[in-house]
Every structure is written in C-alpha cells, then in structure tokens.
Amino acid sequence: MKVKKILVSQPAPESGKSPYYDIADKYGVEVVLRPFIKVEGLTSKEFRQSRISIPDFTAIIFTARTAIDHFFRICEEMRITIPETMKYFCTTEAIALYLQKYIVYRKRKIFHGDNGKLESLLPSLIKHKKENFLWVVSDVHKEDSGLLDKAGINYTKAVMYRTVSNDFGPDESFDYDMLIFFSPAGIQSLLKNFPGFEQGDIKIACFGPTTCQAARDAGLRLDIEAPSPGNPSMTGALDSYLKASVAAS
C-alpha cells in the first residue's frame, strides 16, 4: 500500500517550517504533526501531597525548560519567594538562559552542562555538594539518578508535571497510512484512544529503543526503526523508506 498520509506525533512548529514538511513536498505525501501526548502541570494541591518544602532547598536542578515553567508556577501559586541566594544547575546553556524569563540572570549563581546529559553537569554538582538540591522532574523521566547517588549528592526529586494522553476528539479523522512515535507514552496513548486498534496496512515508525520495544510489546509491527546505522534521525529514516517505496512502485 502506498503511503499517502503520515501522522508525526510531535507538535507543529510555531515557525511553520519542519523537515517533515520538506519530505511531504518531495514525495507528494500529506504530513500532519499532532502529538499523542501532552504535558500537564500538577496543581499546587497535588504538589503539597508530596510534603516537599521548597524553601528547605538551596539549589535547583533543571533538565528541561518545561521544568522551569512549572517550578516557578507552583512557587507563585503557593506564594513562595525564591531567595537570591538560590543556586541553579541546568543541563544545557539554553535551559540556563531560559531562567531569564523568571529571574534577573546576572544576579544569580547559575551553572550549566554542555550536552544535555546529567553527567556533564556532575562536576559542578560535586563542587557544590554541600547544597541541598531539589531536582524538578516529570512523572516519567529518563535521567539516571544513580550518578548523583554515587557522587554523594544530597537531592530530592520533585514531580511537578506529568505526561498525559492527548485524546482525539470524536470528530477528528484518523485516516493515516503511517504513524510515527517518539516515546512509549505515545504508544500508550494510541491504545487508549483506539482500544480496538488493528494495524493492518498502517505503517508504524518509532524512534529510540524504548519506543520500539513499547510498540513490540503492544503487538505492533515495526516498519521503520531509528536511529539506525544508515539513518541516525527519524527524518532520514522516513526519507529512505519513501524513496524505496517510490523505486518499488
């Protein structure tokens, strides 16, 4: 079956530009960017149930800009004033610079890693290991806390937001020839939205080993897996698949 309509389970870019749109033009297919999941913040009431007292901490660890948004939102809702002495540790410079949305950047002690991984931030954390760290996370997160445990870092994980299914409306069409997923949560959302889902001729593409495994566990047939030796990106893998399909037709 020829692929004519593809659902990419990612938000549509605000700029209106995406390499997926370039692929759509190249092969004459329709591409729809529409996430299967979305991020939802915990309410202040829900956060209080964790019995975590934010004023008890002297440093914050951020691994995503979303974490920054929900941290300051909860602080505002709970009327917590963050002292100027608070130290901030971010896994990338871009995340660190995002703090400017909420604080006077040049007046704060801010540290950042260089590759988005917690290990790149570890030297700074060890240098300040006397601090009491609050690590803001989602209910589903990939970061391995074993690094902090081995380094003797005093930290507490605080769940402030969660990933939930982005449900399809009753009038929303679902007539896709290919579905592209980037997380196990996306697979779970598919099965939640369509409990009797039968793959049939629908192609399934997944990025990352955990997403691929989630698809297999759900009994789905994988037609595209990325990254692969020849295609480190999903767009590259999709381009190769469509090119082969055109050649075979």
User: Quick count: other Cβ atoms within 10 Å of Cβ 27?
Assistant: 18
- DSSP code per residue over 134-167: EEEEESS----THHHHHHT--EEEEEEEEEEE-P
Does 147 share its domain with 44?
Answer: yes
Does 58 share its domain with 118?
Answer: yes
- Would you state the structure tokens that stand for residue 140, as one six-digit string? 């589903």
pLDDT score, position 200: 95
Structure letter (DSSP) for residue 106: G
Does 192 share its domain with 112?
Answer: no
pLDDT score, position 2: 85
Cβ-in-10-Å burial (0-12, 13-18, 19+) of 79 comes to: exposed
pLDDT, tens digit, for every residue of 52-110?
999 999 999 999 999 999 999 999 999 999 999 999 999 999 999 999 999 887 778 99
Does 190 share its domain with 232?
Answer: yes
pLDDT at 153 exceeding the cut of 90? yes
With a CB cutoff of 8 Å and minimum separation 6, the contacts of 227 are: 207, 208, 233, 237
Q: How many domains does the chain have?
A: 2
pLDDT at 143 exceeding the cut of 70? no
Candidates 102, 93, 95; CA nearest to 64 is: 95
Last residue of some domain: 163, 188, 214?
A: 163
Does 137 share its domain with 182?
Answer: no
pTM, whole model, 2 decimals? 0.73
Does 182 share its domain with 227?
Answer: yes
Q: Where are the alpha helices (DSSP H) in the chain?
A: 19-27, 44-48, 65-77, 93-98, 118-127, 146-151, 184-193, 209-217, 234-248
pLDDT, tens digit, for every residue of 205-238?
999 999 999 999 999 999 999 998 888 999 999 9
Last residue of some domain: 163, 189, 211?
A: 163
The CATH number of the domain where 69 resides is what? 3.40.50.10090
Does 186 share its domain with 220?
Answer: yes
**Where in the sequence is the domain holding 180, given as residue range(s)?**
5-36+166-248
Beta strands at 37-41 and 155-165: parallel, antiparallel or unpaired? antiparallel
Does 14 share its domain with 71?
Answer: no
Cα 112 from Cα 156, distance rounded (Å)? 19
- Helix, strand, or coil (residue 104): coil
Does 209 share its domain with 147?
Answer: no
pLDDT at 35 exceeding the cut of 70? yes
Does 93 share its domain with 127?
Answer: yes
Does 125 share its domain with 149?
Answer: yes
Cα 65 from Cα 68, distance rounded (Å)? 5
Q: What value does the mean pLDDT of the chain take? A: 92
Last residue of some domain: 105, 139, 163?
A: 163
How confident is residue 51, by pLDDT bands cut at 50, 70 and 90?
very high
Does 220 share its domain with 152?
Answer: no
Candidates 1, 37, 31, 38; CA nearest to 16 is: 31
